[in-house]
């Protein structure tokens, strides 16, 4: 296995607005281009994304190929990319609207070179690009404020450390195959589910200073819906891997339940006090220079996202429980050999 060669796998779908910047950031990689191989998996783009990628492959010095995936989902695209990867290489997952620091790949390879073999996956922090448009700036605030989602360990790093999962991710040769690849039934949270299997296989996952910046593309309403889906699929991951349950997973549904209980009781003034304290904390932790209107809107947007996640989590568990209850009530199927 050659740990000085790398396969880059990038799923894309209608990324014309960003793909130029992304490809230019790959051109700027300090790691030897002849040791790279790019597998870009398209889910049926109609905006010129494929044409831009094909031109880049033909004119650039990073070898690679464009693979078509009519199924479009991220897990199927990633698995298709792994199937086309150069044998025995480090696999680095990329995103079609994320740009990468010049030493991004070099940092990953260096970590695998010096880390013990038990470190099977590494990745950098998740950092959004700043946005000036109000609705997108509001979503950026969600990912950078500790009262939103910015407090998650994989979004911040001061020194390399072992974690449960990373943004995007890169894997030692053979680790993805040993873990079984991405589960194509997962419509979201596929990275966390895979990370659990990687760790269960005996590997460690390490957060390192491999820097990138992704562009926020969804507006606030779409993000609320997205986090509802994340919650649902996190429940499926927790059902499969109960040991992955953490207190932070339970915090949103528990807070939502307590708020409903208090609203229906004489203690309802505590809800207002709790919300006021939460809003004050959002203001205290806002990014320097953040538009006050964005921070004000965040006082409503953050709880909406967390409530959606909590409801999605509950729905994910209840959907399974309901299906199991229906199966218990269903009459047993007649035996095919009855009456013989």
CATH of the domain at 11: 3.90.550.10
> 61 and 17 in one domain?
yes
> 302 and 247 in one domain?
yes
Two tokens, residue 218 = 């969804």
> 316 and 180 in one domain?
no
pLDDT score at 321: 56
pLDDT score at 271: 87
Instruction: Confirm if 38 and 10 have CB atoms less than 8 A apart.
Output: yes
Per-residue b or e along 1-19, where b marks 16 or more CB atoms closer than 10 Å to that residue's CB: eeeebbbbbbbbbbbbebb
> 117 and 93 in one domain?
yes
pLDDT score at 227: 95
> 210 and 90 in one domain?
yes
> 250 and 203 in one domain?
no
Instruction: Confirm if 43 and 12 have CB atoms less than 8 A apart.
Output: yes
- How many domains in the chain? 2
Is residue 158 in some structural domain?
no
Q: Cβ neighbours of residue 186 under 8 Å, at least 6 residues apart? A: 75, 193, 233, 236, 237
Q: Quick one: which of 91, 109, 88, 81 has its CA closest to 1?
A: 88
Range of the domain at 29: 6-124+166-216
pLDDT score at 297: 97
Is residue 41 in some structural domain?
yes
Two tokens, residue 82 = 């792994």
Any idea which residue has 């390879």 for tokens?
Answer: 109
Decide which of 175, 193, 216 is a domain's last residue: 216
> 290 and 201 in one domain?
no
Decide which of 183, 198, 216 is a domain's last residue: 216
CA distance 305 to 302: 5
Is residue 135 in some structural domain?
no
pLDDT score at 155: 56
Q: Cβ neighbours of residue 59 under 8 Å, at least 6 residues apart? A: none
> 229 and 196 in one domain?
no
pLDDT score at 152: 53
pLDDT score at 339: 33
Length of the chain: 340
Two tokens, residue 264 = 């229906």
Q: Which residues of the chain have pLDDT under 50?
A: 1, 324, 326-340
CA distance 267 to 257: 14
Which whole-number Å values give the CA distances from 148 to 107, 222, 298, 299, in the listed order?
Answer: 29, 16, 8, 9
Is residue 144 in some structural domain?
no
CA distance 246 to 49: 39
Rounded to the nearest integer, the mean pLDDT of the chain is 90
Is residue 52 in some structural domain?
yes
Is residue 339 in some structural domain?
no
3-state DSSP assignment of residue 302? helix
> 207 and 185 in one domain?
yes
Which pTM does this prediction carry?
Answer: 0.88
Is residue 152 in some structural domain?
no
Decide which of 181, 216, 251 is a domain's last residue: 216
Instruction: Confirm if 26 and 59 have CB atoms less than 8 A apart.
Output: no
Distance of CA 265 to the CA centre of its chain: 39
pLDDT score at 253: 83
Is residue 58 in some structural domain?
yes
CA distance 3 to 6: 7
> 314 and 229 in one domain?
yes
Two tokens, residue 310 = 């909590």
Containing H/E element for 281?
Answer: helix 269-284
């Amino acid at each position: 296995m050659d740990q000085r060669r790398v396969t880059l796998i990038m799923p894309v779908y209608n990324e014309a607005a960003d793909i130029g910047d992304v490809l230019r950031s790959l051109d700027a990689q300090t790691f030897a281009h002849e040791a790279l191989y790019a597998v870009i998996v398209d889910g049926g783009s109609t905006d010129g994304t494929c044409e831009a990628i094909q031109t880049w492959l033909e004119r650039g010095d990073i070898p690679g190929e464009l693979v078509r995936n009519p199924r479009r989902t991220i897990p199927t695209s990633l698995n298709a990319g792994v199937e086309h990867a150069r044998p025995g290489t480090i696999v680095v997952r990329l995103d079609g609207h994320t740009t990468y620091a010049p030493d991004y790949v070099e940092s990953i390879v260096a970590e695998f070179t010096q880390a013990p073999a038990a470190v099977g996956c590494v990745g950098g922090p998740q950092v959004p690009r700043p946005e000036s448009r109000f609705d997108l700036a509001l979503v950026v605030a969600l990912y950078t404020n500790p009262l939103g989602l910015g407090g998650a360990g994989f979004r911040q790093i001061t020194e390399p450390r072992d974690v449960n999962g990373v943004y995007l991710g890169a894997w030692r040769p053979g680790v993805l195959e040993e873990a079984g690849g991405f589960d194509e039934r997962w419509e979201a949270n596929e990275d966390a589910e895979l990370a659990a299997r990687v760790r269960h296989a005996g590997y460690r996952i390490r957060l390192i200073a491999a820097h990138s910046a992704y562009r926020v593309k969804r507006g606030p309403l779409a993000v609320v819906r997205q986090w509802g889906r994340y919650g649902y699929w996190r429940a499926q991951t927790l059902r499969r891997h109960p040991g992955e349950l953490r207190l932070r997973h339970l915090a949103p549904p528990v807070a939502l339940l307590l708020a409903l209980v208090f609203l229906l009781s004489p203690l309802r003034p505590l809800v207002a006090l709790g919300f006021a304290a939460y809003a004050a904390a959002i203001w205290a932790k806002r990014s320097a220079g953040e538009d006050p209107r964005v921070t004000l809107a965040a006082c409503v947007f953050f709880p909406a996202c967390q409530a959606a996640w909590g409801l999605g989590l509950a729905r994910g568990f209840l959907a399974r429980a309901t299906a199991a209850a229906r199966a218990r009530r269903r009459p047993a199927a007649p035996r095919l050999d009855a009456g013989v």
